Amino acid sequence: MRLILKSSWKSQHAAWGLALGVLGLLPGCAAPMKRVPPQEAFSSTSTYSRMFDASPVKTCEAARRALLSQGYVIITANDDSVRGQKSFQPEPESHLQMDIRVVCAPESKDRQITLGFVTALQDRYALKKSNTSASLGVGALGSVSLPFSSSEDSLVKVGSETITSETFYDSFFALVHRYLVADGPLDEAR
């Protein structure tokens, strides 16, 4: 009987050793986690912002006029921010919508120098068709499918991205500057 206990103890010990060995191998068998590269570098501060020699109210008014001059619909306009949208249809079954947001932050104590921040977001939509067919349910007979079918068209958002082109922002800031210079001192109280 003593012999059985010894062999039983040895087999349990061997089983534990095997189990620990298998557990040690499992992390190596696990699928590697996919790493996504960082989307931000936070390196340039000049792409999305510019200094203006004007108050935040004047700067945002110039930005509002710049957006209006390019066909944007003004969604909101405050003393320190402006938001405009414009729609494009480059192809019959696709649609683009630009959303530009401007924030005017004072950069000096006397509020006569403003830092203007601009971000442009472009949403892409595609025309998707969905077919529907008609069926009729009759109590005793069950349901009957009729050959009538129709399709519904709907725009579905397929992508969204922040515009990163320095040329795009340079031209917008140049237009804002032109409105600041052309209009001269604007009335602070709108």
**Could you read off the pLDDT of 10-67 as tens digits, one per residue?**
555 555 555 555 555 555 555 567 776 776 767 667 789 999 999 999 999 999 999 9
The answer as to whether 67 is a domain residue is: yes
The answer as to whether 30 is a domain residue is: no
Q: Is there a contact between 104 and 58 (Cβ–Cβ < 8 Å)?
A: no
At residue 159 the predicted structure's pLDDT band, cuts being 50, 70 and 90, is: very high
The answer as to whether 29 is a domain residue is: no
Instruction: Quote the CA–CA distance of 173 and 120 in Å, as a whole number.
Output: 12
At residue 108 the predicted structure's pLDDT band, cuts being 50, 70 and 90, is: very high
Instruction: Quote the CA–CA distance of 84 and 31 in Å, as a whole number.
Output: 46
The answer as to whether 28 is a domain residue is: no
- Kind plus residue range of the DSSP H or E element containing 175: helix 166-183
Report the candidate in 113, 105, 107, 98 with the shortest Cα–Cα distance to residue 169.
Answer: 98
Report the candidate in 130, 125, 127, 126 with the shortest Cα–Cα distance to residue 152.
Answer: 130
Residue 8 has a pLDDT of 54
Please list, in sequence order, all residues whose beta carbon lies within 8 angstroms of the beta carbon of residue 81, skipping any fewer than 6 positions away.
60, 101, 102, 103, 104
Q: Is there a contact between 59 and 104 (Cβ–Cβ < 8 Å)?
A: yes
The answer as to whether 16 is a domain residue is: no
The residues that bridge with 121 in the sheet, in sequence order, are 99, 162
Supply the range of the domain harboring residue 163.
45-136+144-183
Give per-residue pLDDT as tens, 111-124: 999 999 999 999 99
The answer as to whether 94 is a domain residue is: yes
Residue 31 has a pLDDT of 58
Domain tally, the chain: 1
Over residues 147-159, the mean pLDDT reads 74
CATH code for position 115: 3.30.530
The answer as to whether 17 is a domain residue is: no
The answer as to whether 114 is a domain residue is: yes
The residues that bridge with 97 in the sheet, in sequence order, are 87, 123
Report the candidate in 178, 176, 173, 181 with the shortest Cα–Cα distance to residue 61.
Answer: 176
Among residues of the chain, what percentage have pLDDT more than 70? 64
